[in-house]
Amino acid sequence: MLTAEQARLKARNDIVVYNEIKAIELAIIQAASDGELDVTVATTEMTNGDTAPAYYNEWKGTAPNVILRDRMNQVIASFTKLGYTLDRKTNQGTGDTFVWIAAW
C-alpha cells in the first residue's frame, strides 16, 4: 500500500510545476536585469489557456481541486524558500484567471 506521501507524489504532475517555476524564474531574471523589484507573470499554464480558469477557481475556492492546490502550493513554496514573495491576483483582463506577482 502506498503511503499518503507516495500517493501525493504520484498524483503530482511534476512537469506542470517545473514549467511554471521555470517561466516565473525567467520573468524574474528579465525583470531584475531591467532594475525592477517585482514582475507580473500571466503567460504560464496556470495563468493562461484552457486550464487556467480551473486553477483560478481552486484558488478562489469556488471549485476545490486538491491536485491543483498542491501544484500551486509547490510553486509558491519553491519561491518562498528562495526569499521571494509570490502572490496571486485576479487577472483584470479575463476575470476568471490569475496572474503571479513575484517580488524581491
pLDDT tens sequence across 2-21: 798 887 777 766 889 999 99
Whether 45 and 20 have beta carbons less than 8 Å apart is answered as yes
| pLDDT digits 0-9 by tens, 30-51 | 999 999 999 999 999 999 999 9
The cell for 29 is 531574471
